[in-house]
Amino acid sequence: MTINLNINSIKMVTAGEYDEINVSGICSITGDIKANLINVSGKMDAEGDISVEHFKSSGMSTIEGSLKANTMKSSGKTNVEGKVEGNDLEISGMLDIDGNITGERLKLSGYSMVDGDIEVDYFECSGKIESEGLINADSVNITLRNHCSAQEIGGKTIAILEDQKTENKGLFASLFTENRKGTLSCNLIEGDEIHLENVLCETVRGKNISIGKGCIIEKVEYTDTIEIIENAKVNEQIKI
């Protein structure tokens, strides 16, 4: 791939292989694209699939197909109608995904809406996540600064804890931080080691479970140990 494109006005890009595509203007892409780098500080609309080594966006990006990137850093607004696949995904802006997210590491500090499932090795969220599917990772770490939601959460170690920090959280975090303590609502949380605060959940299932302050849990199923902090509410406990 040897073609570099620097788009600072209005341009249409056809399907093909490129080295770098830098968009500071308005770019419309027709067909599938392969590239080493796509960097968007303006506006990009793509009709097909994008396969790229490094995807960066501080502007507005809309992809009607799927996105495959080794690394992805988005501090702007990114919408993907297909799936997202990548090794290192870092979102500090707004992310709207219709399909699934798969990869190794996903770090969210902005506002993310995901209609499909999230399947990664490491999941970290300190922003706002609204997931219509499953969040599954070996390690799940969620710091509650907003109201978050998911259908199901699974992992080996799961920590969903109230935010203890008071420093400046950045532009997008401040836009979506609500004037109350953060909470997470979920139908099912299942893992080996589970530590929860401010979680509203129908069923929590695991080996060693700690139900902390602010939690309201309908049923807990555990195999080894359970700890319930005084003001947490658990309607039913079952040792299995």
Q: What is the DSSP code string of 21-86?
A: EEESSEEEEEEEEEEEEEEESSEEEESS-EEEEEEEESSEEEESS-EEEEEEEESSEEEESS-EEE
Q: State the pLDDT at residue 168.
A: 47
Q: Where are the domains of the chain?
A: 83-239
pLDDT tens, residue by residue, 99-123:
999 999 999 999 999 999 999 999 9
What CA–CA distance (Å, rounded) separates 4 from 53? 14
**CA terminus-to-terminus distance, the chain:** 57
pLDDT tens, residue by residue, 194-228:
999 999 999 999 999 999 999 999 999 999 999 99
Q: State the pLDDT at residue 164.
A: 82
| CB within 8 Å of 202: residues ≥ 6 apart | 186, 187, 188, 217, 218, 219
Question: How deeply is 180 buried, as exposed, middle or buried, from its count of CB atoms within 10 A (0-12, 13-18, 19+)?
Answer: exposed
Task: Quote the mean pLDDT of the chain.
Answer: 93
Residue type, 222: Y
Q: State the pLDDT at residue 181.
A: 78
Average pLDDT over residues 88-95: 97
Asked if pLDDT for residue 5 goes beyond 70, the answer is yes
What CA–CA distance (Å, rounded) separates 96 from 80? 6
Q: What percent of the chain has pLDDT over 90?
A: 90
Task: Identify the residue whose tokens are 């788009």.
Answer: 7
Q: State the pLDDT at residue 175.
A: 52
Which residues are paired to 232 by β-bridges?
none
Using an 8 Å Cβ cutoff, are 45 and 28 in contact? yes
Question: How deeply is 199 buried, as exposed, middle or buried, from its count of CB atoms within 10 A (0-12, 13-18, 19+)?
Answer: buried
Using an 8 Å Cβ cutoff, are 145 and 177 in contact? yes
pLDDT tens, residue by residue, 137-193:
999 999 999 999 999 999 999 999 999 874 445 555 555 544 457 999 999 999 999
Q: State the pLDDT at residue 180.
A: 56
How far from 86 is each of 61, 67, 222, CA to CA, in Å? 17, 8, 34
pLDDT tens, residue by residue, 49-81:
999 999 999 999 999 999 999 999 999 999 999
What CA–CA distance (Å, rounded) separates 162 from 166? 12
Average pLDDT over residues 19-48: 97
Angle at 27 between CA 26 and CA 32, to 5 degrees: 165
Residue type, 176: F
